[in-house]
Amino acid sequence: MNGFFDLPSDLGQSWLGLVGLHLREALLPVLAGLLVSLPVAQLCVRFRWIYPPVLGIATVLYAIPSLAFFVVLIDYFGQSETTVMIPLALYSLVVLVPAIVDGVRSVPPETLAAAQAMGFGAVRRYFQVQLPLAVPAIIAGLRVATVSSISLVSVGMLIGNQGALGNMLYAAQTYGRPALAVNAVLTIGVLGMLADAALVLLRFLLTPWMPRKGAGR
Amino acid sequence: MNVLDFARAFFGDGAHWHGYDGIPTRFAEHIGYCLEALAIAAAIGLPVGLLTGHTGRGGNALAFLATAGRALPSFGLLVLMFIWIGLGLLPVMIPLVVLAVPPILVTTYEAVRSVDPSPVDAARGMGMPETRVLFQVEVPVALPLILSGLRTAAVQIVSTATIAAYVSLGGLGRYIIDGLYQKDYEKVVGGATLVAGLALVTLAVFWAVSRLAVSPGVRRGGRG
C-alpha cells in the first residue's frame, strides 16, 4: 500500500515540490497579467473608444480553450513551462482589464476633483487616489484570475507533463492508482481556496476605510 | 505557417466537412454536451439562488461553495471521474456542472437580493403571497443579472467541454486532442476557432434572449 503523498519517482518531484512548482506556474502568469493590465486599463479609461474593441478581443481570447492555446504554442516554445504560462497570463489579463477599468471608473468625480484641487498631478492622483479606491474591484478580478489559473495549470499535463500537480493525474491512470488523482484534485482545490482567502485578507489590509462587517463575499 | 494559414487549410479541406469526424457532427455533439451541462447546472443553481436570494440567508455558505466549485480543477475532476466511473457522459457532465453552478448560483443570489426593496414591500403590502412576490416582482427586475450569470456559465462550459475528447467522447475538443497527438496543428487551430466561434454565438444568443425577455421598463433602468 502506497502512502497518499508517495509519488511515483518518474514525476521527479516530491508532493511538496509539485505544490511549489504548481504555485509558480499558476501565480507568475497572474502577476504578469496584473502588470500588463494596469497600463492597458489606464489607456482604456483615458481613451474611451479603445475599451469596446479591447473588451471584444478579451471575450474572444477567453473563449479559446486553454488546451488549444497550449498546443499552438508548442510550436514556438516547445513542451515547456513557458507554453503553459503564456495562455494563463493572457486569461488573467482578460479578466483583470475589465475589473480594473470598472474599478477606476467607479471613483466618484467629486473625489477626483478634490484631489485635483489639492494640487495632485495626474500621476499622483492615479497612484494615491484612483488605484487605492479601485483595490476592491482589482482584488475581485485577481481572485477569479488566480483561482482559475491554479485550476488550469493541471491541463498542462497533456503537453509533455508540464502540469505540476496535474501530472499526478497521468500517473494515476498509468499506474492504476486513483488515490493520486484524488490527491491532485484536492490539493489543487485547497491551493485555490487558500489563494482566494489570502486575496480577501489582502483586500482587508489594503482598504482600512471599508466597513469591517461582512467582509467575506 | 502562422495561425491564420492553419485555419485556412483546416476549413478549406473538404474532408473536414463530412462524416463522423466532420465539422457538423462534432459541432452538434459539442452543443449537445453544453446544453445538457447548462440545463443541469441551471436546474441546481437557479432554484437555490432564487430561494436564498429571496430570503437573504445563506450568503456566506453560498460564497464558500462557489469558491470551492471554482477552485476544483475541471480537468482533474474529469480524469478522476473517468477513473472511478469509466467511459460515458457522466464523467464529463460532473466537472462541467461543478464549473457552471457557482456563477449561476452566486449571480442569481446577488441579483435577487439586490432588488430595490420598495417595490417588494409594496407588493407585500398589496397582499401578494411570497411566491408571487418572487416571480412577479423580484425575478423580472433581477432578470438581466440572472441572465448574465447564465451567460458566464454557458461560455465557460462551451470552452471547457473540449476536455470531453480526452476521455474518448466527441465534440469539438476531438480536433484539439487528436491534433495534439498527431502533431497536426491545422486541426488544433481549426478546433479552437470553432470553439471560440461557438462561444461568440452563445453570447449573441444571450444578448437576443435578454432583449426579448427583459421587460423594457427594467432595461431603461440602466442595468443589463
Mean pLDDT (chain A, rounded): 88
d(CA A46, CA A42): 6
B99 to chain A, any CB pair closer than 8 A? The answer is no
Interacting residues of A126 by C-beta distance below 8 A, sequence separation 6+? A42
Q: Is the pLDDT of residue B220 over 50?
A: yes
Q: Is the pLDDT of residue B224 over 60?
A: no
Provide the pLDDT for residue B1: 60
- pLDDT, mean of residues A164-180: 87
B159 to chain A, any CB pair closer than 8 A? The answer is yes
Taking only the tens place, the pLDDT of each residue in B122-150 is 999 999 999 999 999 999 999 999 999 99
- Residue A56: CB atoms within 10 A of its CB come to 11
Nearest CA in chain B to A76: B2
Q: What is the pTM of this model?
A: 0.87
Q: Is the pLDDT of residue B40 over 70?
A: yes
SS3 call for A129 = helix
Does the beta-carbon distance from A181 to B79 stay under 8 Å?
A: yes
**Which of A144, A155, A173 comes nearest B75 by C-beta?**
A155
Provide the pLDDT for residue B153: 93
d(CA A95, CA B218): 27
Provide the pLDDT for residue A67: 85
Residue B77 contacts residue B101 (beta carbons within 8 Å): no
Domain A14-206, CATH class in plain words: mainly alpha
ipTM given for this complex: 0.84
**Among candidates A153, A166, A186, which has minimal Cα distance to A67?**
A153
Structural domains present in chain B:
3-219 (1.10.3720.10)
Taking only the tens place, the pLDDT of each residue in A98-133 is 999 988 888 888 998 999 899 998 889 888 898 899
Residue B220 contacts residue B198 (beta carbons within 8 Å): no
Q: Is the pLDDT of residue A2 over 70?
A: no
Q: Report the gap between the CA of B19 and the closest CA in chain A (Å).
A: 23
Per-residue confidence at A7, pLDDT binned at 50, 70, 90?
A: confident
Q: Which of A97-101, B11-15, B203-207 has the lowest mean pLDDT?
A: B11-15
Provide the pLDDT for residue B129: 92
Q: Is the pLDDT of residue A89 over 90?
A: yes
Nearest CA in chain B to A156: B75
d(CA A158, CA B176): 11
B81 to chain A, any CB pair closer than 8 A? The answer is no
Q: Is the pLDDT of residue A189 over 50?
A: yes
Provide the pLDDT for residue A163: 85
**Among candidates A146, A123, A153, A127, which has minimal Cα distance to A194?**
A146
Instruction: Enumerate residues 116 to 155 of chain A having a beta carbon within 8 A of any beta carbon in chain B.
Output: 144, 147-148, 150-152, 154-155
Q: Is the pLDDT of residue A217 over 60?
A: no
Q: Is the pLDDT of residue B2 over 80?
A: no
Interface probe with B: pick from A67, A83, A167, A169, most Cβ of B within 10 Å: A67
Q: C-alpha distances in angstroms, B117 versus B120, B134, B137, B213?
A: 5, 12, 10, 22
Does the beta-carbon distance from A151 to B80 stay under 8 Å?
A: no
- Cell 497536426 sits at which residue? B184
